[in-house]
Every structure is written in C-alpha cells, then in structure tokens.
Amino acid sequence: MSKILDELEERRAQARIGGGQKRIDAQHAKGKLTARERIEAFLDEDSFEEFDMFVQHGCTDFGMEKVKMPGDGVVTGWGTVNGRTVYIFAKDFTVLGGSLSWTHAQKIIKIQDMALKNRAPIIGLFDAGGARIQEGVAALGGYGEVFQRNVLASGVIPQISVIMGPCAGGDVYSPAMTDFIFMVRDRSYMFVTGPDVVKTVTNEEVTAEELGGASIHTTKSSIADGAYDDDVEALLQMRRLIDFLPSSNVGEVPEIETYDPWDRIEDSLDTLVPENPNKPYDMKELILKTVDEGDFFEIQESFAQNIITGFGRIEGRTVGFVANQPMVLAGVLDSDASRKAARFVRFCDAFDIPVVTYVDVPGFLPGTDQEYGGLIKHGAKLLFAYAEATVPKVTVITRKAYGGAYDVMASKHLRGDVNYAWPSAQIAVMGAKGAVEIIFRKDMDDPEKIAQHTADYEDRFLSPFVAAERGFIDEVIMPKSTRRRLARALRMLRNKQLENPWKKHDNIPL
Ligand code: HXC
C-alpha cells in the first residue's frame, strides 16, 4: 500500500510542476503567479479540490506524442470563497502556453457542466494562447463546446474571467461571452490575433500593450470591466466581487452582516447639489454615502465615466447602482454610457439584483459623431434594458431629468417601483434656455420678454412638483434621508413578483 501511496504522491508532484521549473521561473520572472498559485490565492485556504490532474492529451502529430504533461495545460476543480462554492479553471501557461487541446477542453467542459448543474459561479483564470495549433480542428472543436456552454450558462450562473497573461483566439472569445472580464495591468493582453499577425496582414506595427493591454480594454474598447496591478490584487478583488453575487439566477443575493445603521442620516447630502444648475458635483459621493459602510464595487470605472455602474449593499443585501455622473460630460447619455449601463442593468435583472438609479441627466449627446455611431440604437439598449427588467427598481432624481433621458433612467413609465426626487430635481423636456428659444421664437428680439418667459418656465418646470402632481414621482424626499428611504423601499419590494409575457427571447437592439 505504501508503494501505491508513494506513487500517487510522485504522480501528483509531477503534475503540479506543469511545464517544469524553468518555465515556472520564467512565469515568476514576468511577475506572474502559476495557475496553482493563483487558485490558492483566490479560494479559501485548503478548500481546493482538483479534478483531472492526470489527464494527458492524445495528439500524435508534429512530435506531440513525445510531449507528455499531466494536466494538459489547465488546472480545474472547485473550492469555496468565504464558504460559498465556486468552480474554477486556471490556464497553465507553462504547458504549451496554456493552449487548448481536445482533452484540455474536456476538463473545462466538465467544470462548466458541474457549475451549471449545481448552480454555482464559475471563474476562469486566463493566461493562454488559444487553440493548440498542433491539434488543428480537434482544438477548434473543443473551443466550440466551451463557447456553447458559456452561452447556456449565461444568465443562469455568474461567469467571471480574469485575464492574467497574453491571451489570444479562443482565450479571448470565451471570456467575451462571460459576465465580467478583469485584467492585470502591464502583463495581460487580449487580442484575436497578436502583433505579429497584425504586422503581416495589415503592415501595422503595434505593441501588445497598444493592441490589447488593460489600458486599451478598460478605457477604449470596454472589453474589460476593470484592471488591477498584480495577480494577487486581482484575485482578492474577485473574492470581493463574488461576495456581491448570488450563486445563480434562482439563488438569493448573499446577506453580509453590516454595522451601518439602515436609517443613517447623511446631513451633508442636503448640500451636495450646487445652487448653480450648471455646476458639477460628484455623484459617487452620493453612492458612497448611501451604501453600507461605503463599500462600492465599481464596474467599468474607466470607461464612459459619464455613467457609474457597480454593486453596493443596503441592509447587507446587494444592490446594483446606475448613476449619471455630472462631473463627466455633465452626465449626458451617449452611446458608450448607454451600452455600459444597459449591460449592467441586464446582469442585475438576470440575477435578481435590485437596481437603484440616481438621475442627473441633461439628455442624450447631440452631434453627427453620436448619430453616425448609432446613438439611437445604443440609447435604445438602455431604454430596453430598464423596460424589460422585472427586479425591484428604485429611482432618485437628484437634479436634471431632461427629455428622453428622463424616460430612460428607470422612470415610473418603465415600471419604476419607487420613484423619488430631491427638492432640487428639474424634470422637463429640456432646460429653460433651449425651451424658451423654441416656444417663444417670435419674442427672441425682446430680451425683457425672454427673461420673463425663462423665469416662468423655470418656475413651472424646473422643479419636481409637476411630475409629483401627476404621480410620476412618488415622493419628494430630503437628500439626507436617501439611505433610509432606499432601505425601506427595497425592504418593501423584497417579495416583488412581476413577469413579462412569454417569449422565446426578446430582440434587444444589438
Ligand atoms: C501551441 C502554443 C500556442 C498555441 C503558444 N504556444 N501559443 N503552442 N498552440 N496556440 C507555446 C509556444 O510555442 C511556447 O512554447 C509557449 O507556448 C510560450 O509561447 P511564447 O510565444 O514563447 O510566449 P509569448 O512570447 O509570451 O507569446 C504568447 C502568445 C503567442 C502571444 C500567446 O505565443 C501567440 O501569439 N500564440 C499563438 C496565438 C494564436 O494565434 N492562437 C491560435 C488562435 S485560434 P515553448 O515550448 O517554446 O515554451 C483560436 C481558435 C478559437 O484560438 C476560435 C475563436 C473564435
């Protein structure tokens, strides 16, 4: 027996070494952890149960029969994050660059199927060069099966991807179909084809960072939802994210104990909105002052900063926040902001996370740039997302809610459950200047009359009361009591039941 046990230990040790000490050292020299070290940093201590450690590829082309590496370039299994089950796979770059063979794909598929069957989140740690070139169509087929499962699991269990090294081909397409992608700065890249292929095909010279680094994907392409300085920070932040998420679309959001009183009054919010309606203020301050313990996990922090999206908690339960940011482009809705917020609202709706919307929006951004870029279609995404969402929706208008953007931002008309306004709210088709120029064009040469019309317009429309008179606003609230109001509203909505008509699926403008 002891011989068998020794052999097991020996085989395990051989598998754990992956592509060998030299490649592990090279991995460390690049500032990266190995696949197993990453799993260890992410999961609760000693909770990892590995599967398929001894799996070997079956390829015999291009001398591959001589290349035998137990585990075949990916470490898979399950463990816990703060006690909750999570499935995990981590690409092992030291084994043929983490590339995916047929058997490597079968390991991932096994984990995907288990995660879906057992309704628990799955996280993929990517550091890999896509389909294993030596395997040809077998590798492509393997990817196809991974993609198919990504799609079937979408909206059922949270799927998270962390890009921790150079990733290409299937190792960017599979993450692209998951809910969130995070990257590690200066050492992770995502591209369909790398700089060498780009040079050959288009003659364009570009570095890996310029083509697909975290700086590009968090600010320009919006492929990535966030980036961190190193592996450990990224993995610790992923643990934080998991704590915000339910295990599946039928699981409740986790309840985290909080010592922050639900009825905490924040006097400083009474002076958050400046007297001058054109002066910006930081909407993040409102979010941070209303969530439990100021703990807010922002999604897409560096992209379309005119809208803020992220998770916080009220009374220990997760809430998705969407908020216009007056500090950036006056909080206007443009194509990027609309797409960003639409995707976030749809995630929340799929996973039964209530949405709180803070509104200060002067409208949609005008101009050829936006119109040619499809503003109508992109703006419609956000409208569509809010309108189809059946989760509890609580809205607070802090200042401007102008034009179509008023409708879009979780208004009463899109089945907003509780719609509050601060006394500083201005709900109208447009601001006073634009409105007067259109409806009193005949008086434009008479400054006195124009001043009077402007004052009349401001009196009548630039307040929350016209909307409140119609019942479009349920209550005008004191800014300082926003947290208390939200807590009560969300508590009241806990058993909300609302179903959309049966359909195969909707046809959201893509
Ligand atoms: C087999 C691979 C590989 C691959 C890397 N390696 N990618 N082996 N198949 N796809 C091996 C290398 O031969 C090398 O082996 C080791 O991994 C490390 O690779 P390096 O090139 O030395 O590392 P680096 O310079 O950091 O570059 C990493 C890389 C680059 C950017 C990922 O290797 C690369 O561009 N690889 C090819 C990417 C690609 O085109 N993949 C196919 C995509 S198609 P040794 O033995 O020297 O250590 C695809 C289809 C899916 O995925 C469908 C999509 C819809």
Residue 509 is assigned to a structural domain of this protein: no
Pocket mutation for ligand 1, best pick of 62, 68, 95, 96 (most atoms within 8 Å of C-beta): 96
Name the nearest CA neighbour of 338 among 320, 328, 356, 324: 324
User: In this structure, are 110 and 58 located in the same domain?
Assistant: yes
* Euclidean distance between CA atoms 410 and 357, whole angstroms: 7
CB 72 within 8 A of CB 107: yes
Distance from Cα 133 to the centre of ligand 1, integer Å: 8
User: In this structure, are 100 and 226 located in the same domain?
Assistant: yes
Nearest alpha carbon, ligand 1 atom 44: 169
Name the nearest CA neighbour of 125 among 181, 51, 44: 181
User: In this structure, are 187 and 38 located in the same domain?
Assistant: yes
Distance from Cα 98 to the centre of ligand 1, integer Å: 8
Pocket-forming residues, ligand 1, beta carbon under 6 Å: 96-97, 99, 129-133, 140, 143, 166, 168-170, 173, 194
Nearest alpha carbon, ligand 1 atom 26: 166
The phi, psi pair for 8, rounded to 5°, reads -60, -45
| Residue 323: per-residue pLDDT | 98
Give me the residues paired with residue 182 across strands.
162, 226
Helices 335-350 and 375-388, packing angle to 10 deg: 20
Distance from Cα 193 to the centre of ligand 1, integer Å: 10
Q: Domain boundary at 185, 212, 244, which?
A: 244
User: In this structure, are 19 and 162 located in the same domain?
Assistant: yes
| Residue 461: per-residue pLDDT | 83
What are 430's two structure tokens? 């447009």
Distance from Cα 97 to the centre of ligand 1, integer Å: 6
| Burial of 488 from C-beta contacts in 10 A (0-12 / 13-18 / 19+) | middle
Q: Which residues of the chain have pLDDT under 50?
A: none
| Residue 35: per-residue pLDDT | 98
> Based on the structure, what is the number of domains in the chain?
2
Structural domain of 20: 2-244
For the domain that residue 309 is a member of, what is the CATH number?
3.90.226.10
Bridge-based pairing of strands 122-126 and 84-91 is: parallel
Task: Tell me which residues are annotated as active site.
Answer: 169-170, 404-405
Bridge-based pairing of strands 49-51 and 74-81 is: antiparallel
| Residue 95: per-residue pLDDT | 95
Say which residue the tokens 């703990």 belong to.
Answer: 295
The rounded mean pLDDT for the chain is 96
